[in-house]
Structure 1
Amino acid sequence: MNRRVIVDTGPLVALLGGRDARHQWAKERMAEIRPPLLTCEAVISETCFLLGRSGGNPAIVLQLLDIGLASVAFDLSAQARSIRLLMEKYADVPMSFADSCLARMTELLDDSPILTLDKDFKTYRKHRNREIPVIAPGEY
Structure 2
Amino acid sequence: MAEVVCLDAGPLVALMDHRETHHAWAKAAFDRLRLPLPTCQAVITETCFLLRDQPMPLAAFRRHVQEGHFVDALDFGRLAPRVMELMERYANVPMSFADACLVALAESTPAARLFTLDRDFLIYRQREDQPLALLAPFAP
Fold equivalence (TM over 0.5) = yes
CA drift of 1:126 comes to 0.7
Distance, in Å, in 2 between the alignment partners of 1:60 and 1:73 is 21
Amino acid at match of 1:121: F
- Asked which structure has the greater RCO (Cα within 8 Å, sep 6+), the reply is 2
The residue aligned with 2:17 is 17
CA drift of 1:67 comes to 1.4
Question: How many residues in Structure 1 have an aligned counterpart in Structure 2?
Answer: 139
CA drift of 1:138 comes to 3.7
In the TM superposition, 1:1-140 aligns within 5 A as: 3-138=3-138
Moved runs in structure 1, 4+ residues, more than 3 A? 54-57
Distance, in Å, in 2 between the alignment partners of 1:123 and 1:5 is 19
Q: Which consecutive residues of structure 1, in runs of 5 or more, have no partner in the other structure?
A: none
Q: Which consecutive residues of structure 2, in runs of 5 or more, have no partner in the other structure?
A: none
CA drift of 1:86 comes to 0.4
Q: Percent identity?
A: 40
CA drift of 1:98 comes to 0.3
Amino acid at match of 1:74: L
Given that residues 4 and 34 in structure 1 are in contact (C-alpha distance below 8 angstroms), is that contact kept between their aligned partners in structure 2? no
Given that residues 38 and 72 in structure 1 are in contact (C-alpha distance below 8 angstroms), is that contact kept between their aligned partners in structure 2? yes
Could you tell me the TM-score, scaled by structure 2's length? 0.91
